[in-house]
Amino acid sequence: MGKPVVATTSLAGCFGCHMSILDIDERILDLIELVEFNKSPIDDIKTFTKQCDIGLIEGGCCNSENVHVLRDFRKNCNALIAVGECALMGGLPALRNTIPVQECLEEAYLKSPTVDDKIIPNDDELPMILDKVYPCQDIVKIDYYLPGCPPRADLIWNALVALIKGEQMELPYEVVKFD
């Protein structure tokens, strides 16, 4: 039997959770011995080439492209892990949820002193902005949640290894504390 296949992606977020994956430092070499990466910025594979065992999702959904990517991950991954506060609750991008979308667009494209053209982009190729930023579980079924902004590298490491080995996750306070 081959190695478990892992895919990762970033939606509306800052890519900090992927940085935490890289922050497992030399254990990344151990991880490569345990898993095969498929669609991920870690290996630069842009499309799914096979069904994946585990999908790691960072970021929430703020536009139609995010929703498409998340649904594609749900379809192509047996287990989905929401990683970080943006995936779990919308995070910082969700701060716009109390402001109407039109007002956000006007502020960014019409009233900003750094914009010359003063037009709101409107092209069929641009993703449609959603009415608010949605956490991943509002769009698809999520199997596991790793909190943090970003989650600590040890939390991601412990969770991945436990899931890969089919063991109970041991998440001591030290890897989930936020102080």
**Residue-level pLDDT at 29:** 92
Q: Give per-residue pLDDT as tens, 87-121.
A: 999 999 999 999 999 999 999 999 989 888 889 98
**Residue-level pLDDT at 119:** 92
Can you tell me the mean pLDDT for 25-39?
Answer: 93
**Residue-level pLDDT at 42:** 87
> Is 149 in contact with 85 (CB distance < 8 Å)?
yes
* 2, pLDDT greater than 80: yes
Residue given tokens 């750094």 in the structure block: 114
Closest CA relative to residue 129, chosen from 157, 158, 151, 97: 97
Q: Give per-residue pLDDT as tens, 39-75.
A: 998 889 999 999 999 999 999 999 999 999 999 999 9
Q: Give per-residue pLDDT as tens, 115-158.
A: 888 899 889 999 999 999 999 999 999 999 999 999 999 999 99
* 179, pLDDT greater than 70: no
* 80, pLDDT greater than 90: yes
**Residue-level pLDDT at 156:** 93
State how far Cα 144 lies from the chain centre: 13
Check whether the bond before 150 is cis (ω within 30° of 0).
yes
Q: What are phi and psi of 87, to 5 degrees?
A: -70, -35
Parallel, antiparallel or unpaired: strands 129-134 and 61-63: antiparallel
Enumerate the β-bridge partners of residue 118: none
Q: Is 5-95+132-176 a CATH 3.40.50.700 domain?
A: yes
Distance between CA atoms of residues 78 and 48, nearest Å: 13
